Amino acid sequence: MITPFVFSFSLFALFIALLYVFLVKRSQVTLKLKQLELQSFYEKEKEMLDRIINAASDTLLCLDHDKKVLFMNKKGEEMTGWKVEEVIGKAFCREVIRVRDSKGHLICHSDCPLEKACTLASREAVCEGMLLTKNGAQAWAELRYSALVDSKGHLSFGILTLRDISQFKKAEHMRLQLTSNIVHELRTPLTYIRGYVDLLLMRKVGGLSEDQEKSLRVIRESVFKLIALIDNLLEVARIEEGKFYLRFGSVRLNHLIQKVVDLAKVEADRKNIVLIWEAQDSFPEIYADGKRLEEVLMNLLSNGLKYTHPGGRIEIALGEEDETVSILVADTGIGIAAEYVKGIFERFARLDDVDGNKPGEGAGLGLNIVKRVVEAHGGKVWVESEMGKGSTFYVQIPKRNVA
Ligand code: ADP
C-alpha cells in the first residue's frame, strides 16, 4: 500500500530527476551549439586570415627556434620554387633557399641575420641578397627578419618576409650605368681642357700677359675641381655597382700620413693653419690598401683645411690598440651641429655653414667614400664635434700585421 506521503515523495523525486536530466541535456545542447558557433567563427576567421596572408605580395615565413619552417604563404611557392607542404619542417637557410650577398658570400652562413636580430633592441634585421630557388632560378630579394625571443634572449620564433626586388635592382643598375657613362663622357673633354691650359701656361703656344696667365690659372683650378668631383662621382658609382676592390699590401701608416701631411702643408700654410703631426717611426707595418687609406686621409685632412678658419690647428695622430689601429684627424674648425653628425657620412650630405650660408664647393661625396673604404677594410669611422670648437674624425681598422 502506497501511502500518500511516499507517493508524493516519489513523484517529487521523479520530477527532480527529470528536471536534472532536462537541465543537463539543455546545457549540453547549448554547449554543443556554442562549440559549433565557435568552430564556424574560428573557421571563418582562419579562412579570412589565410586569404589575407596568401594574397600578400611578399613571401611570409614563420620559423621555429631551430630555423625550421612552421609556415609559409602561397607567395612563397612562387619565390622559392617549393610547395608549402614540402618546406614545412625543413631548415630554411640550409635546405630551402640560399641567399648570397653582392660579393657572392652566403648570407645565412657568414652572419645569420636572425641570430643578429636576437641581439638587437629592435629584434629586427634587414638585408639584401641574390636568392637561389629550388629550380636554380635567381632573384634579388630583400629579407626582413623579426625575432621573438625567450627570457634568455634565445630565438623562439622567427618571422621572415622576402620581397622580390629584381625589377628595382635592374632599374638601379641602369641608373648607375647611365650616371657613370655621362660622368665618364664629361671627364674626357675636361682632361683635354686641362692639357691645353697647361700647354698655354707653359707658354708652348706663345707668350702670355700677366692677366692672361691669371685667368688661365683660375680656369685650371676650376677644371681640377670639376675633375675631382667627377672622379668622386665615378668612385661612388663604382662602389654602388659592387665594382670596388681593395688591393691589400703592406702599408707603413707612418709614411703614408707623412706623405699626406706634406701634400697638405702648402694649403695649410696658405690658410695659416698649423698642422700637428708627430711621426712614429717604429709603428708596425699593417696589411691594407695603402692607396685607398691615403685617399681617406687626404679627404679628412682637406675637409679639415676647408672648414677651419685661418689661425686654427689640425692635429693628426696614429694609435695602436690590441686588435685595431686608429687614425685621428682633429681640427679647431667650425664644427658640425649635433643633428647632422649622424648623417654626415651619407651620400651628398652637405651642411650650411655656421652662419647659415650655403656650403662651399664639394658635392658631399668625400666622407661617403671615406666610410665605404674604411668599412671595406672591416673598420669604422665616426666623428665627434662641437659647433664653433671643431671636429675630430676617427678611423679605426682591424690590425692585420704583416708577418
Ligand atoms: P664635401 O666635398 O662637400 O666637403 P664631404 O662628404 O667631404 O663633402 O663632407 C660633407 C659635409 O660635411 C661638408 O659639406 C661639410 O658641411 C661637413 N664637414 C665635413 N668635414 C668637416 C669638418 N672637418 N668640419 C666641419 N664640417 C665638415
- Per-residue pLDDT of 21-37, as tens digits, reads 888 888 898 899 899 99
38 Cβ contact list (under 8 Å, min separation 6): none
* C-alpha 17 – ligand 1 centre gap (Å): 92
What is the dihedral angle through the alpha carbons of 229, 239, 184, 213, rounded to the nearest 10 degrees?
20
- Closest residue CA from atom 19 of ligand 1: 303
In this predicted structure, which of 32-41, 149-158, 166-175, 233-242 has the lowest mean pLDDT? 233-242
Distances (CA, A) of 238 to 139, 188, 224, 230: 22, 18, 21, 12
pLDDT value at position 356? 46
Cell 666622407 found at: 367
Cα of first residue to Cα of last residue in the chain, in angstroms, is 118
Counting atoms of ligand 1 from 1, which one is nearest the CA of 390? 24
List the alpha helices (DSSP H) in 56-100: 74-80, 84-87
Stretch 380-385: mean pLDDT: 96
Is a pLDDT exceeding 90 seen at residue 204?
Answer: no
Q: d(Cα 218, Cα 226) in Å, to the nearest integer?
A: 12
Whole-model pTM above 0.85? no
- Specify the DSSP class assigned to residue 59: E
Query: Minimal CA–CA distance to 71: which of 82, 85, 61?
Result: 61
Q: d(Cα 150, Cα 333) in Å, to the nearest integer?
A: 49
- Closest residue CA from atom 25 of ligand 1: 335
pLDDT value at position 311? 95
Q: Spell 350-359 as b/e; 16+ CB within 10 A means b.
A: ebeeeeeeee
User: Ligand 1 within 6 A of 351 CB?
Assistant: yes
* C-alpha 74 – ligand 1 centre gap (Å): 49
User: Ligand 1 within 6 A of 350 CB?
Assistant: yes
Q: How many CB atoms lie within 10 A of CB 136?
A: 7
Is a pLDDT exceeding 80 seen at residue 6?
Answer: no
* C-alpha 181 – ligand 1 centre gap (Å): 27
Rg of the chain taking only CA atoms, in angstroms: 35
Tens digit of each residue's pLDDT (9 = 90 or more) over 261-311: 999 999 999 999 999 999 988 898 999 999 999 999 999 999 999 999 999
Run of H or E including 361: none
What cell numbers appear for 151 in the block? 627570457
Beta bridge partners of 132: 98, 138
Residue 363 burial by Cβ neighbours in a 10 Å radius (0-12, 13-18, 19+): middle
Counting atoms of ligand 1 from 1, which one is nearest the CA of 334? 25
Write the single-letter amino acid at 141: A
Tens digit of each residue's pLDDT (9 = 90 or more) over 304-352: 999 999 999 999 999 999 889 999 999 999 999 888 888 899 876 666 5
Is a pLDDT exceeding 80 seen at residue 161?
Answer: yes
Is a pLDDT exceeding 70 seen at residue 403?
Answer: no
User: Ligand 1 within 6 A of 297 CB?
Assistant: no
Provide φ and ψ at 153, rounded to 5°.
85, 10
Is residue 354 very low, low, confident or very high in pLDDT (cuts 50, 70, 90)? very low
* C-alpha 350 – ligand 1 centre gap (Å): 6
Counting atoms of ligand 1 from 1, which one is nearest the CA of 299? 7
- Specify the DSSP class assigned to residue 68: B
Q: d(Cα 139, Cα 21) in Å, to the nearest integer?
A: 67
- Closest residue CA from atom 14 of ligand 1: 350
Counting atoms of ligand 1 from 1, which one is nearest the CA of 353? 16
Distances (CA, A) of 354 to 271, 314, 358, 366, 388: 19, 19, 10, 20, 8
* C-alpha 394 – ligand 1 centre gap (Å): 14
Residue 245 burial by Cβ neighbours in a 10 Å radius (0-12, 13-18, 19+): exposed
* C-alpha 368 – ligand 1 centre gap (Å): 10
- Closest residue CA from atom 18 of ligand 1: 303
* C-alpha 314 – ligand 1 centre gap (Å): 15
* C-alpha 306 – ligand 1 centre gap (Å): 8
User: Ligand 1 within 6 A of 362 CB?
Assistant: yes
User: Ligand 1 within 6 A of 235 CB?
Assistant: no
Coil vs helix vs strand at 252 = coil
Residue 80 burial by Cβ neighbours in a 10 Å radius (0-12, 13-18, 19+): buried
Query: Minimal CA–CA distance to 161: which of 276, 289, 287, 53?
Result: 53
* C-alpha 351 – ligand 1 centre gap (Å): 7
Q: d(Cα 126, Cα 372) in Å, to the nearest integer?
A: 19
From 226, 235, 348, 367, the mutation candidate for ligand 1 (largest count of ligand atoms within 8 A of CB) is 367
From 344, 345, 371, the mutation candidate for ligand 1 (largest count of ligand atoms within 8 A of CB) is 344
Is residue 238 very low, low, confident or very high in pLDDT (cuts 50, 70, 90)? confident
Counting atoms of ligand 1 from 1, which one is nearest the CA of 335? 25
* C-alpha 335 – ligand 1 centre gap (Å): 10
From 267, 303, 328, 381, the mutation candidate for ligand 1 (largest count of ligand atoms within 8 A of CB) is 303
Q: d(Cα 118, Cα 116) in Å, to the nearest integer?
A: 5
* C-alpha 241 – ligand 1 centre gap (Å): 24
